[in-house]
Amino acid sequence: MERAKRLGLVVGAFAGALLTAPLMVVFFFGNRLFGLPFPPFDLFDWVGRVLPGPVVTFGIDSMIDLMRLVGLDVADTAKLAERSLALVQFFVGGVVVAALFFAFLGLRRARAGHLDGLAAGVLLGLPVVVISLSISQARVSPIVGGAWMVVLFLAWGLALAWAHRRTVAAAEAAGGGGERAVEALDRRRFLVRLGAASATVTVAGAGVAAFLARGERESVSASSMAHRTETGKGTPFPNAMDPVVPAPGTRPEYTPLKDHYSVFIRTEPTVLEAADWVLPITGLVERPMRLTLEDIRTKYPVHDQYVTISCISGRVGTGLIGTTLWTGARLADVLADAGLQEGARYLDITAGDGYHETLDLELLETEERVLLCYGWDGHPLPVDHGFPLRIWIPDRYGMKQPKWITGIEVTDTYRKGYWVERKWDKNAIVKATSVVDTVAVQAAAEMNGETLVPVGGIAFAGVRGISRVEVRVDGGPWQEARLRAPLSESTWVVWRWDWPFEEGEHTFEVRCAEGDGTPQIEEKHGNRPSGASGLDHETIEA
């Protein structure tokens, strides 16, 4: 009996693995080809939303620490890591349900019939289907999506019951003695064949999916080419003539779109169709409106603004910061059109992925630059970055600035934003920060008998600007760096300092001061709840 129980658990887990992997691949196909739901991501997104804020934050922090520990670029790999976790979570779920199923039948000494199989399918599938339908961003109707998931989960259950009959149940029927060897051989043969079939489906599926994903990327960039306007590219940058040339190895002053960091709460970006998108402006307004994208683009003056945006969860020196040209209509112009009623105090801005944030209307009294933004780099907003509409609020971390906006309600009551509910700062004003990007020893040059090494990086303090950047070597005196004129008053500043070369190991630290002279906070503090502070440094061996 003991042996049978153990055998049941092990073989069950094994069969579960062999059947869950192809199930996931089939789901992936349905998703890529027909926009059907992909439950592993939905499940993961749901877990992230219902878990208490501190648990989620701890999870994200640990993941990021681990990635930094092994030297991965967080901005590049965070989503990949999340997606991998989502797949593992679903896979483990399938394995556990299968193992329990085998163990349960073992206790009953039963042979799995079709009904048992269907029950297993329901056990794994029912919660997943309910969760997926409640959260999915699939482009098919819930009935089609639901039916598809039900069919696949039931098929998974039936296959599991079949695997049970061919393995453990066969063992019980065979009884003891010499037949045991025969059934063990049979079982092994069956599992090997099942394994081969599963591996074939999974590997071939992954290959074809990778191929399809490549096609998709190409079509996305092709369509953004077609939409290309004359803003941005083609026109020289406003600081093109600035004499301060960035030290070689400094990040690009204008971030290539494909390299711009991207952060969103879901495993996958939210896809909204321009054709059926409207922006309702409701609540305490004189004239409730429903604006199409065309309305927003054509009814209001167009504003272009070079903007640096950064994420509050970044550490000192983070890659979660980027600069591009934002294009949009001023929020104030749109609100003037709607007419605010007496008592209007906040905007409750909602988004297609369930994200939401609150804007205090008091801010608009002193800050007219807030944009409802539909363009980046002269293109329509990329899907990852909030197509068709996002907001820009100067001086705030990204978390205050919803992408994929689907509604603006004018209210008299304050509602915490998505991340504020999860204990992040409700104002989220960007902290001044400065970063060493490069100590370009390979670009050393002779100047008046001295060997000078260009050192450089960026400094950023929202629209408060940067008035000074200083560098020190090995804890020595602070030396003033040269500042390149920024692309605009709302972007980072590129700085450069030429270091009189000395052999050996050296540590370079940088600090900055805001436009009005306020020094950056040198005291080390983690990102939570208001954004990281402390000095960035870079150590070299020359």
Ligand X SMILES: Nc1nc2c(c(=O)[nH]1)N[C@H]1C(S)=C(S)[C@@H](COP(=O)(O)O)O[C@H]1N2
Residues within window 364-403 making contact with Mo ion, judged by CB under 5 A: 398-399
State the burial class of residue 484 (Cβ atoms within 10 Å of its Cβ: 0-12, 13-18, 19+).
buried
Q: Is 532 in the site for Mo ion (CB under 5 A)?
A: no
Using alpha carbons, select from 101, 145, 87 the residue that is nearest to residue 13.
Answer: 101
Nearer to ligand X, 125 or 386 (CB): 386
Per the CB < 8 A criterion, the answer to whether 468 and 432 are in contact is no
Q: Is 154 in the site for Mo ion (CB under 5 A)?
A: no
Q: Is 64 in the site for ligand X (CB under 6 A)?
A: no
Distance in Å, CB of 390 to ligand X, minimum? 7
- Tokens matching residue 381: 């907003």
Nearer to ligand X, 262 or 490 (CB): 262
Distance in Å, CB of 228 to ligand X, minimum? 19
Rounded Cα distance, 10 and 103, in Å:
9
Distance in Å, CB of 293 to Mo ion, minimum? 25
Binding-residue total with ligand X (CB under 6 A): 18
Q: What is the CA radius of gyration of the chain?
A: 28
Residue nearest to Mo ion (CB): 311
Nearer to ligand X, 218 or 259 (CB): 259
Nearer to ligand X, 384 or 470 (CB): 384
Binding-residue total with Mo ion (CB under 5 A): 4
Near ligand X by CB under 6 A: residue from 41, 46, 90, 261: 261
Rounded Cα distance, 274 and 326, in Å:
18
Near ligand X by CB under 6 A: residue from 398, 462, 465, 486: 398
Q: Is 422 in the site for ligand X (CB under 6 A)?
A: no
Nearer to ligand X, 260 or 464 (CB): 260
Instruction: Tell me the CB-side half-sphere exposure of residue 343, using CA atoms within 13 A.
Output: 7
**What string of DSSP letters covers 90-149?**
HHHHHHHHHHHHHHHHHHHT----HHHHHHHHHHHHHHHHHHHHHH---SS-HHHHHHHH
Q: What is the largest CA-CA distance in the chain?
A: 94
Nearer to Mo ion, 399 or 481 (CB): 399
Distance in Å, CB of 404 to Mo ion, minimum? 14
Near Mo ion by CB under 5 A: residue from 311, 432, 436, 473: 311
Length of the chain: 542
Rounded Cα distance, 409 and 280, in Å:
8
Q: Is 455 in the site for ligand X (CB under 6 A)?
A: no
Q: Is 156 in the site for ligand X (CB under 6 A)?
A: no
Say which amino acid occupies 297.
R
Near ligand X by CB under 6 A: residue from 21, 129, 311, 494: 311
Residue nearest to ligand X (CB): 398
Nearer to ligand X, 198 or 401 (CB): 401
- Tokens matching residue 169: 């149940």
Binder of residue 31, out of Mo ion, ligand X, none (CB less than 5 to 8 A by kind): none
Rounded Cα distance, 87 and 20, in Å:
10
DSSP state of 383: G
Q: Is 306 in the site for ligand X (CB under 6 A)?
A: no
Interior/surface letters 199-232, b for 16+ CB within 10 angstroms, e for the rest: eebbeebeeebeeeeeeeeeeeeeebeeeeeeeb
Three-state secondary structure string covering 202-265: HHHHHHHHHHHHHHHHHHHHHHHHHCCCCCCCCCCCCCCCCCCCCCCCCCCCCCCHHHCCCCCC
Rounded Cα distance, 85 and 67, in Å:
13
Distance in Å, CB of 375 to Mo ion, minimum? 21
DSSP state of 461: B
Q: Is 355 in the site for ligand X (CB under 6 A)?
A: yes
Q: Is 263 in the site for ligand X (CB under 6 A)?
A: yes
Distance in Å, CB of 198 to Mo ion, minimum? 39
Distance in Å, CB of 347 to ligand X, minimum? 14
Q: Is 404 in the site for ligand X (CB under 6 A)?
A: yes
Rounded Cα distance, 161 and 167, in Å:
10
Q: Is 250 in the site for ligand X (CB under 6 A)?
A: no
Distance in Å, CB of 533 to ligand X, minimum? 17
Q: Is 399 in the site for ligand X (CB under 6 A)?
A: yes
Near ligand X by CB under 6 A: residue from 402, 456, 457, 462: 402
Stretch that binds ligand X, among 154-162, 323-331, 401-409, 474-482 (CB under 6 A): 401-409
Name the site residues for Mo ion (rule: CB under 5 A).
Answer: 263, 311, 398-399
Binding-site ranges for ligand X (CB under 6 A): 260-265, 309, 311, 351, 353, 355, 385, 398-399, 401-404
